[in-house]
Structure 1
């Protein structure tokens, strides 16, 4: 019998891919996985999603158009990644698992945000459109709840910022920098800037990332 439903639960605080990207000099995004540094976390998280999706749905492959319901549970109401970015991160892992053929299969998507300090996680349900359809409505509350208010980050300037596309060049040729991946001291001429000049990588590490 062809399966038209699957559910995946992955424990832990969800991660956003956008927080872990590095960019080379050509603007190409890089996601390190074996540098031993902070940026490896996303690649490992994507592998965890793929592993859990396959273990929880052995032998299941959903190849038709899908409806997805994603429930994301964060530890904090205010300090967490952008849920819209989380969606892409999660489906990359689901696609890698082989549970779906391509994330383009998801034609209808509902995302809900919740909070659970003890058990942060995400729960994803996938429904085949040949068997299921979506029916939803938004209702007005009879009793108004306390709103969750959002404010700009404390380090965000109120006035518009002008970003310089060129990396900082105030360092002298004798000044030494640190590679963000291997941690070694490097000279400026042996370094490559990434993330619009915010991240410095040595040429050896950059070669290993490709």
Structure 2
């Protein structure tokens, strides 16, 4: 049985959404036909599964694995966190049947690159029965320019000494956010389904349409 596989998937890599629902059996689902941005994560997994299988026909990796992932983003300034992108990719690989379970991946090396003309990811799997990995980190002889990152924390609501005005503003914010994610209609406490840790609200009518 093979102990090596390589997968290349074209297109800008994306991370898995935190948006999740659970069906009546308690199983987590990732919608793909809501017409919302959530769909792209499920579709991306299917795309990964497709390329994994056609590029490695008949291959099933069932041992512990070393994974080397090279992610090529279209833009250096705007792209997902590379640390979070492996979940989307490995879920798609598992769905293809190329690997049995992503728990097999015991060692991961992830590298970030940029390719405006050909964004993609390249992933190689090496079976630990035949391959081993070594790496080193060396100090540069000549330092390069620093790549500086800035905080993207959301700004807080300005404080005010007028407590009545503050309460009114908070009530307005609550009204604005108490909307169904799909139909955008206002929903009350008795008709709400919460997802994504309570951040996403869905009316029961839209929720039932997902099944």
Q: Which bin holds the TM-score, normalised by the shorter protein?
A: 0.7 to 0.9
2:109 matches 1:110: yes
In the alignment, structure 1 segments of 5+ residues that lack a partner are 158-168
Partner of 1:95: 94
Q: What is the distance in 2 between the residues matched to 1:38 and 1:87?
A: 19
CA distance in 1, matches of 2:176, 2:7: 50
8 Å contact from structure 1 (residues 78, 150) kept in 2: no
Q: 1:176 touches 1:185 (CA, 8 Å); kept in 2?
A: no
Instruction: Tell me which protein shows more helix as a share of its residues.
Output: 2
Measure how far apart 1:124 and its partner are: 0.3
Match of 1:202 in 2: 203
Per the alignment, in what secondary structure is the counterpart of residue 185 of structure 1? Answer: coil
Count matched residues: 192
1:73 aligns with 2:77: no
The two structures have a TM-score, normalised by structure 2, of 0.79
Partners of 1:68 and 1:124 within 8 A in 2: yes
- Match for residue 185 of structure 1? 185
CA distance in 1, matches of 2:73, 2:89: 14
1:1-210 matches, within 5 Å, as: 2-17=1-16, 19-22=17-20, 30-153=29-152, 155=154, 170=171, 178-181=179-182, 183=183, 185-188=185-188, 189-209=190-210
CA contact (8 A) 2:18 2:196 kept: no
- Determine helix, strand or coil for the equivalent of 2:137: coil
1:68 Cα deviation from its structure 2 partner:
0.6
> Structure 2: 5+ residue runs without aligned partners?
157-169
Distance 1:7 1:86 in 2: 18
- Say whether the 8 Å CA contact 1:20–1:42 is kept in structure 2: no
Describe the shift of the 1:156–1:91 C-alpha distance in structure 2 as closer, same or farther (beyond 3 A). farther
Shift of 1:33: 1.5
Post-superposition CA distance 1:51-110 (Å, at most 9, x none): 110011111001111111001111222322121210111111101100001111111111
Q: Using a 3 Å threshold, how does the CA distance of structure 1 residues 136 and 196 change in structure 2: closer, same or farther? A: closer
**Superposition RMSD in Å:** 2.8
